[in-house]
Structure 1
């Protein structure tokens, strides 16, 4: 899947870094003004050399800040010295070479909004805006030049300050989700430990007691009584093994809330936004455990297909509804649709065939089709609902 630059998320490899730098270089178009000034300004050779050196140094500092922030996603310790160098170069060139070079202060405003702490970033942007105004007035810039510099300088820096706040909120949200996932896993382990203790505590105590009794009967040469205790021990042990297997199988059984959380994380990793209907993971009247498990498997398999095969997908839509068949049967319908390139002419894979068989065993069925507007792929998993309610309204008879 094609990489799309995501603000605040560190790049993972060199290719992603190059793509992000290419996106950033699009904003270098405004440097055409100082470049044109050097080419047509009629400066002496030493001044031209100094101007090109200053422009290259400023651009190098700017790209250095972008690279380090893209690789780490956090503030770099060398940001402040680099920002000071950019300030000096922008002020010296703006005062010494004229209005065309004041655009460097606009880039400085963007950089300050991105790297300064949030509490002082807006103040730094305002200070740079005042500096631009002062230099422009001191160099005799006209009103058109002044208005074309002051407003973009402040707005671009303020926008970057807002983006920095948004990135911080996104980072806190990711950390909160990770913490919630760890807490949920810890709670699940504790619950499993309690359940196993409840299952095995009584059984093991009973086995210990009966083992002691069997030993006493054997010492007293009461073989039949001892044999009866050993038989009871065997029966208790077998039942304990059955209970443990049942409990572990229950923990391995997928559920809609768990699969929904896993789907959101998996799709976010590949740049796909999950749009899930509210209350989708809530209990639905008439939906049995086996049927709910089938829907959870359908969600897992569909998300796996999107991650592996849905090239170009940006959105995955997840809905839950109810439907009736021609015989009045009531079904829960889970629909998963993406806007990728679709399956093309390839046949259904083993995962979908296995899912279809699983749904058939539960009395349901699997339906696949192109997504909305003919784009992407849609999966509809239908399972029967046990509780019958009033069916859809009957058609009104026409005269």
Structure 2
């Protein structure tokens, strides 16, 4: 699994994608469950209709109006999470909800005044910020005007209406910021990929341009020498072989450098992967790797990738801590990676292919691997030679 595939897989398992439409029925249900608790304010209208205090015709009309009000409210708020209505449609539907709340409260009684809460929430969630402020204020005034006709009007409900409306404007701003950050991250990733392609193209040109030009020139010379001077042509062919071999070595070294994982990049990827999987992550910033051999850094980066993959896929953990330390041991100065979680540690059927391969990789780099369960979860410790012994700053 690549470092790009892991975060994408984790995101696919998240409960709610902020600011995006649901991709399947399960995500639609999760978003709907997030909305349904707000329907608690409909309890009073429902009790009013079921109490038998209205004629049958009025009760039937009340049920129809209540279902219509609830359907319009859910359609506005639910669609606003992904594919919102047009601005004009939103304005018309908000006015419709406000009008219906006023009519029902005046005709059916004080029990229906809670409908203004949903009008306020809809204003904050769907209207532009400035329009939402005005709409929430007007909705609150309308509720006060209707409520003053009742001696038992609860003024605290005004505070609820105002605060919920403005809270929804804040939620909408947060969703908008999240969407913008997601787009910005995608743009940065695309720019980074383009820059990497350009760098690869430049490096390949620098590596192969001279070699291929020399091979072409010597091939032409060998072709001209073949009829009368085969010994000279053979020398040119030998030179071509030597240049080709050197070019192949250069390309392999370049490709190896591109494919070698870096510990700093893996630490950043681990933070993203763990967070996306809903795991509380404590990951250090970029460590000081001055003087650490590339082979050691690469082996430790592979160890971190494998450990995080296991935590996300198999552990069921809710917390994961990553540490990178330099220690002076009996085997010399070592760079140590420790990954500890509070999960189950997997199936418990012995080390898998990932840990076995990781052990072999670390041994080739002169390092070691320790992995096993602890009282609170699972811990993996990988050590590789740091390449030097600093005078200060090493761990115990």
Same fold (TM over 0.5): yes
TM-superposed CA distance for 1:339, in Å, is 4.0
Following superposition of structure 1 onto structure 2, how do residues 1-399 of structure 1 map, counting pairs within 5 Å?
Answer: 4-40=15-51, 42-70=53-81, 73-77=82-86, 78-137=89-148, 139-142=149-152, 145-219=153-227, 221-272=228-279, 274-280=281-287, 283-311=288-316, 313-325=317-329, 327=330, 329-370=332-373, 374-375=376-377, 377-390=378-391
Query: Normalising to structure 2: TM-score of the pair?
Result: 0.88
Are 1:133 and 1:146, in contact at CA under 8 Å, matched by a contact in 2?
Answer: no
CA distance 1:291–1:393, shift in 2 (3 Å)? closer
Classify 1:50/1:178 alpha carbon distance in 2 versus 1 (closer, same or farther; 3 Å). same
Contact 2:267–2:286 at 8 Å: present in 1 too?
no
Residue 175 of structure 1 aligns to a residue in which SS? helix
* C-alpha contact (below 8 Å) 2:266/2:304 kept by paired residues: yes
Counterpart CA distance in 2 for 1:123 and 1:28 is: 24
Which deviates the most, 343-352 or 287-296? 343-352
TM-score, normalized by length of structure 1?
0.87
- For residue 362 of structure 2, give the secondary structure of its aligned residue in structure 1: helix
Describe the SS at the equivalent of 2:337: strand
Which stretch of the first structure deviates more once superposed, 327-336 or 92-101? 327-336
Q: Secondary structure at the match of 1:285?
A: coil
Structure-1 separation of matches of 2:268 and 2:194: 16
In structure 1, C-alpha distance between the alignment counterparts of 2:128 and 2:38, rounded to whole Å: 23
Q: Is the CA contact 2:280–2:318 (under 8 Å) kept in the aligned structure 1?
A: yes
Contact 2:125–2:169 (Cα < 8 Å) also in 1: yes
SS in 1 for 2:114: helix
> What CA distance in whole angstroms lies between the structure 2 residues aligned with 1:22 and 1:52?
23
Provide the rounded CA distance (Å) in 1 between the counterparts of 2:359 and 2:308.
16
User: For each residue in 1:232-263, what CA deviation from the matched residue of structure 2 results, as whole angstroms up to 9, or x when unmatched?
Assistant: 01111111112112211211111123334444
Q: Deviations over 1:165-211 (max 9, x none)?
A: 11111111111111111111111111111110001111111112212
Aligned length in residues: 383
Query: Which has the higher mean CA deviation after the structures are superposed, 43-52 or 341-350?
Result: 341-350
Unaligned runs of 5+ in 1: none
Distance 1:259 1:306 in 2: 14
Contact 1:31/1:103 (8 A) holds in 2 = yes
CA RMSD, Structure 1 to Structure 2 (Å): 2.5
Task: Give me the whole-angstrom Cα distance separating, in 2, the residues matched to 1:216 and 1:76.
Answer: 75
In structure 2, runs of 5+ residues without a counterpart are 1-9
Q: Match of 2:3?
A: none
Ranked by relative contact order (alpha carbons within 8 Å, sequence separation 6 or more), the top structure is 2
> Are the aligned partners of 2:300 and 2:382 in contact in 1 as well (CA < 8 Å)?
yes
Q: Cα 1:266–1:52, aligned 2, differ >3 Å: closer, same or farther? A: same
